[in-house]
């Protein structure tokens, strides 16, 4: 009788282990849908070109457009990386001055990722590779962040922000931080 009870317990434990694994993979599949790695050929290339973590680039794309290349914001930003006309023109002058690109070309995934990754890189470089400060700059502009950095209330070192006084900025930085954490949890060990 004792051996039969032990066998039943072993079978039950194996069944729970298999079921648990299935549940784990089911949850992971849902999370991978929520935090996808779309347009990987462009993301991997441009992240590599600018020495960035590709998961950070995925984070910005997910946060900005939800991976919809036709996304259009209330601020008239378009494309996967939600760039405005003004920022597009500035980035174009830096990386594509001789090319026949127009603002609407940001609706093409490669163009949007190319331009967005350069701008994210420049934000990271400008603000000591601090993701939160770079995210604030991507969202609110360099002038806004630079003005905040002049105020000791928002920085300890004058180069990175320790707090984000505007609700929209704070919410955006929080979204970037949380999404980046999820990307690293899901894919970081691959």
Write out 149-190 in H/E/C secondary structure.
HCCCCCECCCCCECCCCCHHHHHHHHHHHHHHHHHHHHHCCC
Hey, where are the domains in the chain?
1-34, 37-187
140 — pLDDT class (breaks 50, 70, 90): very high
Say if residue 150's pLDDT is above 80: yes
Structure confidence at residue 15 (pLDDT): 47
Q: Which CATH class is domain 37-187?
A: mainly alpha
Query: Percentage of the chain with pLDDT > 90?
Result: 80
Could you list the beta-strand ranges (E) of the chain: none
Query: What is the spatial distance between Cα 19 and Cα 82, in angstroms, rounded to a whole number?
Result: 42
Question: From CA 55, how far away is CA 180, in angstroms rounded?
Answer: 7
Average pLDDT over residues 82-99: 98
Chain mean position to CA 132: 11
What is the pLDDT at residue 164? 96
Residues 31-58, mean pLDDT to the nearest whole number: 96
- pLDDT for 12: 46
**Residue 35's Cα: distance from chain center in Å?**
9
């Amino acid at each position: 009788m004792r051996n039969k009870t032990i066998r039943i317990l072993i079978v039950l434990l194996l069944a729970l282990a298999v079921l648990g694994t299935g549940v784990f993979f089911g949850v992971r599949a849902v999370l991978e849908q929520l935090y996808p790695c779309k347009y990987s050929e462009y993301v991997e290339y441009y992240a590599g070109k600018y020495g960035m973590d590709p998961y950070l680039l995925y984070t910005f794309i997910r946060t900005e457009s939800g991976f919809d290349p036709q996304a259009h914001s209330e601020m008239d930003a378009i494309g996967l990386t939600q760039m405005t006309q003004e920022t597009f023109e500035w980035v174009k002058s830096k990386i594509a001055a001789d090319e026949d690109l127009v603002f609407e070309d940001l609706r093409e995934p490669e163009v949007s990722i190319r331009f967005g990754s350069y701008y994210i890189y420049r934000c990271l470089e400008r603000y000591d590779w601090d993701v939160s400060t770079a995210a604030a700059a991507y969202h609110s502009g360099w002038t806004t962040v630079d003005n905040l950095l002049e105020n000791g209330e928002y920085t300890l070192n004058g180069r990175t922000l320790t707090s984000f006084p505007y609700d929209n900025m704070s919410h955006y930085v929080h979204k970037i931080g949380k999404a980046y954490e999820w990307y690293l949890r899901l894919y970081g060990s691959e």
